[in-house]
Amino acid sequence: MTVDSETWQNIWQTLLVIAVGLLVWLVVRVLVRRWGARIEEKLASTGELVARARAQRVRTISRTLSTIVFIAALVVVVVTILGIWGVPIGPLVASLSVVGIAVGLGAQDLIKDMIAGMFVLIEDQYAVGDVVQIAGVSGTVEELRLRTTVLRDLNGSVHHVPNGEARVATNITYEFSRVVVDVSVAYDVSIDRAIEAVSDIANGLAADPDWSAAIVDETQILGVEELGDSGVVIRVLLTTDPDERWAVKRELLRRIKNGFDDAGIEIPYPHVTIARSDRPD
């Protein structure tokens, strides 16, 4: 069986289109990755919280751009190849439109998830590396895709959350975090003395060279927050590096416990009193 010159020409044109499409995608992919890596490195090297958050966003956007470029190149290559082989594009597009409507009706959730993913990127709601809470699940964002967000929680479990389900997205580590600590002291303790002790402990933590980099603003002693059933609640507020908020909170609680023990300030706890009866059995 011999192949005529026109068929050979179509084959060579098809191979050329595939090669050009593949080359364009590879070049754009390399350029996008280099651009993203360069900007990410430049921002992250500053050490500033805002810059590091922007670096995470650049990383996420560069990955998404690579995917979009691949899909666009694939569509162009397929359409061009069909044109080379003389396949009528008009009827095919009309048929695909009907199929697209049917598929769209059955894949509304998929389309909703992808649109929501685009808005997550455009609005910079969260990025790779942020700790977020979405759709009742909290964890560190390991990957942000057009359809899903991949979270890893504290236990190491990985959650794939459809972006369309994230009606409310809480970013716990956006630019900075706040640590709120409520300290309860007994009613028979002078409240002014207790507030002064808490203030000294919190300021001492902020002045400690080992912890000063993790605390990015002055500590705030908000004062009496509540008159509880068993004690008076004092509220402390610290603004911290997003990655250090939990470590700072644990260290502050440890220092408050040790400081109260040294100052003789009692932290109340539930007591159970059992009345003794002198009546003989």
Mean pLDDT computed over 31-55? 64
The label of the residue with tokens 């490195």 reads 41
pLDDT value of position 155: 87
The answer, yes or no, to whether residue 249 has pLDDT greater than 90, is yes
pLDDT value of position 93: 66
pLDDT value of position 70: 79
The number of C-alpha atoms within 13 Å of 23 and in the hemisphere containing its C-beta is: 6
47-61, 194-208, 240-254 — which is least confidently predicted?
47-61
pLDDT value of position 198: 92
pLDDT value of position 278: 56
pLDDT digits (tens, 9 = 90+) for 54-87: 666 666 677 777 777 777 788 788 878 877 777 6
Binning pLDDT at 50, 70 and 90, where does residue 42 land?
Answer: low
pLDDT top residue among 54 and 179: 179
Q: Which two structure tokens, joined as six digits, stand for 37?
A: 């890596």
Of 199, 53, 67, the closest CA to residue 128 belongs to 53
pLDDT digits (tens, 9 = 90+) for 84-129: 777 676 666 666 666 666 666 666 777 788 778 778 877 778 877 7
Binning pLDDT at 50, 70 and 90, where does residue 250 land?
Answer: very high
Dihedrals phi, psi of 204, to nearest 5 degrees: -65, -35
pLDDT value of position 243: 80
pLDDT digits (tens, 9 = 90+) for 195-217: 999 999 999 999 999 998 888 88
- The CA distance from 251 to 181, in Å, is 11
Mean pLDDT computed over 153-176? 86
| Integer angstrom CA distances of residue 9 from 1, 4, 15, 91, 268 | 17, 9, 10, 25, 88
Dihedrals phi, psi of 107, to nearest 5 degrees: -125, 40
Binning pLDDT at 50, 70 and 90, where does residue 167 land?
Answer: confident
Of 236, 257, 238, 258, the closest CA to residue 248 belongs to 238
The label of the residue with tokens 């003989």 reads 280
The answer, yes or no, to whether residue 280 has pLDDT greater than 60, is no
Q: 185: which strand partners?
A: 232
How much is the CA Rg of the chain, to the nearest whole Å? Answer: 30
Mean pLDDT computed over 229-252? 89
Indicate the pTM of the whole model. 0.56
Q: 141: which strand partners?
A: 151
| Integer angstrom CA distances of residue 209 from 118, 195, 214, 245, 251 | 42, 24, 10, 16, 14
Three-state secondary structure call for residue 168: coil
- The CA distance from 176 to 191, in Å, is 31
pLDDT value of position 82: 76
